[in-house]
Structure 1
């Protein structure tokens, strides 16, 4: 009988073959819970995801993707037999050792699905120009959690991938040691021929080929109490960033982060090969998200809702689900409650706030207390 780990591998490879990406954490959580015959409510209890997010958003999309990847209709209740049939077919076919790879020179790792993507056209145009015309070597996408850095990096890479010999997307969410990351990058860029996990080897491949490398969630290796600096044991990432920014090569490395590394601040410039791009919230585009979530209201209420959450896409998705569940999609009724902070939105802010130093947290407290524009001198007196 097939074990869950084997079934997960089959699902992951089938999805990668079909759409060029791996299973995400939330998709794995749904598969694992469903494997154990748990309801969406029970999966929600053992994970950090809301029931509505699992049941109405990610779940249906996952079963649809797996149906396409496995070539048969699957659902939460019958996906196990489908995976087992696929597994057995691989075991009984000696000539097939693995799923075919759609493009051996593209590795999307855990890149998220961006088939549904709202706005960001000006940002995509600017970043594409920086990379393709200005030949930037290093770009850092900056913004608070949930603002859409990851989604933008994937969408951008998909749009310009044909301009590169190699494309590789990697998440640093689990804080891999630099040696592990270098090993993955060098192996991929050498077509699995070179296992020398050294920075000089990586630079050699960045010079000899036109490569697009995206490293997501850089903030996980940064020191939460000292802006721009690294966690203990990860200081060598600073050398990686410095060398990529300083050394002449024909490739582009994109970093996404909530905080700017010190090396970026040192080497960046509006006309230099190292640049940073701060991502702001959605504005008019957010109304498309409301429509997709089944919300309704007048233009004034929609704009109030967008401003309340700074146009943060993740916060707006969280609140939209709650408005649909509790107020039947009526934005006006939700705003009348005057309770913008709850559950997932609070967790999102807590994740950001906890990374601030004690001094930075004090600044944030006084900004919240004053509630109005404050001069530097008045702010100094307050603190």
Structure 2
């Protein structure tokens, strides 16, 4: 079994016996132990102390021991699971039994009958909720993400989670975009959202578009999972595949997450335009956003596809959420990195705009060079980027159109916010060009906007400004 099969099968096995799924930290421990990591290494990637990992692991081994009817430890996890020969026959999801090794574990209606004969203390699955088919094989493990909900740093995302849950579960929006710069936490937020709302859906599927697959490939991938027949003979044409998908979304409650959507969008143009070979994704997004059905598609992207900006609204079935930094909750990142001088942390968080990835990178630098002394680091006026942080910004700045590059260079020369009137005076742009450029930069989360005395002012954050000044893009 590969590691994803281990996580999936072990989770199904425990859920069938206890009615509870693994949480993210338990999954991180299973993943790490399966791959031969020490508790200290798992603690590092999960932003937890080694003692906390040991405590959770001890409880996890006891739970698995009860489920497998043999002692499970850190050292024998792999052999214990392999002996069980765990497998799930995917075509039997609708049946009354889940097959695990040589044991048939009853589910659904059979579970309600057995519950009558079990003692009150025996845990059982919650049969009031529909069984959900999950395919998260394409999703990154949540413990590897810098804005991990396992730590307190995710606490500031409570309002964003509540907003998404309300939009998707209560208001039943059909299409939602989670937008923001790389490292801001879009993927982590989506994974955490799945944990909260998955039982409202019959099917949950995650797919990454990082390699810019053609639409026909994505449709084939989705349909093979949703129809639960990998060898099915699918229609060859895109319209027929779209029709088949939309029919399924109308008849069933599905949650589909497409990650890295920016890779199907075009570089060198204003935000939201498609690469020529991916233009037909607009048909998929528009059909899901405009037609009536029972499902929801979530798009994670650096910038919104044009259908999002055209169709979104408070009363519309299309919504968007532009993520900002995690604020003072980012202090948890510093605690896990053992940084000193906590009275200076807020200054650091504000400078790096609460971006979890940026803060993790700079915290590592402070630990390695200044032995964790933030006050000493801040004595130097030059904002530090470093190659690692600059590398995260390069592909995003490199995507800009010539108009946007001209504007961001102009804005980066100013330490303070600039008005539209000032930009028109010395940027050599027409009002139409200026408005288009500012709007596109805003959709890419690359400009900051503030209101002051009935005037709109624009600026770029210190990190972006430093990058542009050090790496001229105009």
Task: Assess if the C-alpha contact under 8 Å between 2:257 and 2:297 holds in 1.
Answer: yes
Bigger radius of gyration among the two:
2
Q: State how many pairs are aligned.
A: 338
Q: Where does 1:79-228 land on structure 2 (aligned, <5 Å)?
A: 105-111=133-139, 112-113=141-142, 114=148, 116-117=150-151, 118-119=154-155, 120-192=157-229, 194-196=232-234, 198-226=241-269, 227-228=271-272
Tell me the residue number matched to 1:43: none
Tell me the residue number matched to 1:45: none
Q: Where does the alignment leave 5 or more consecutive residues of structure 1 unmatched?
A: 1-8, 22-26, 36-52, 75-80
Q: Where does 1:222-261 land on structure 2 (aligned, <5 Å)?
A: 222-226=265-269, 227-261=271-305
Q: 1:369 aligns with which of 399, 413, 418?
A: 413
The whole-number CA distance in structure 1 between the counterparts of 2:397 and 2:88 is 50
Q: 2:342 aligns with which of 298, 320, 323?
A: 298
The whole-number CA distance in structure 2 between the counterparts of 1:346 and 1:219 is 19
The whole-number CA distance in structure 1 between the counterparts of 2:309 and 2:299 is 13
The 1:359/1:97 distance shift into structure 2, 3 A limit, reads same
Task: Assess if the C-alpha contact under 8 Å between 2:272 and 2:303 holds in 1.
Answer: yes
| Higher RCO, 1 vs 2 (CA within 8 Å, ≥6 residues apart) | 1
Q: Secondary structure at the match of 1:285?
A: helix
Tell me the residue number matched to 1:309: 352
The 1:115/1:143 distance shift into structure 2, 3 A limit, reads closer
Q: Secondary structure at the match of 1:337?
A: coil
The answer to which of 184-193 and 309-318 deviates more is 184-193
Could you report, residue by residue, the CA deviation over 1:222-261 in whole angstroms, capped at 9, with x for unpaired residues?
A: 0011221111211111111000001100111110111111
Q: Where does the alignment leave 5 or more consecutive residues of structure 2 unmatched?
A: 13-21, 23-27, 65-71, 91-98, 102-106, 108-130, 143-147, 236-240, 428-474
The answer to which of 269-278 and 319-328 deviates more is 319-328
Shift of 1:181: 1.2
Q: Secondary structure at the match of 1:284?
A: helix
Shift of 1:365: 0.9
What CA RMSD, in Å, does the superposition of the two structures yield over aligned residues? 3.6
Task: Assess if the C-alpha contact under 8 Å between 1:187 and 1:195 holds in 2.
Answer: no
Q: Secondary structure at the match of 1:349?
A: helix
TM-score by length of structure 1 reads: 0.77
The whole-number CA distance in structure 2 between the counterparts of 1:95 and 1:306 is 46
Tell me the residue number matched to 2:7: 15
Shift of 1:218: 0.3
Could you report, residue by residue, the CA deviation over 1:277-331 in whole angstroms, capped at 9, with x for unpaired residues?
A: 11111112111221122122233x2111111111111111111122222222221
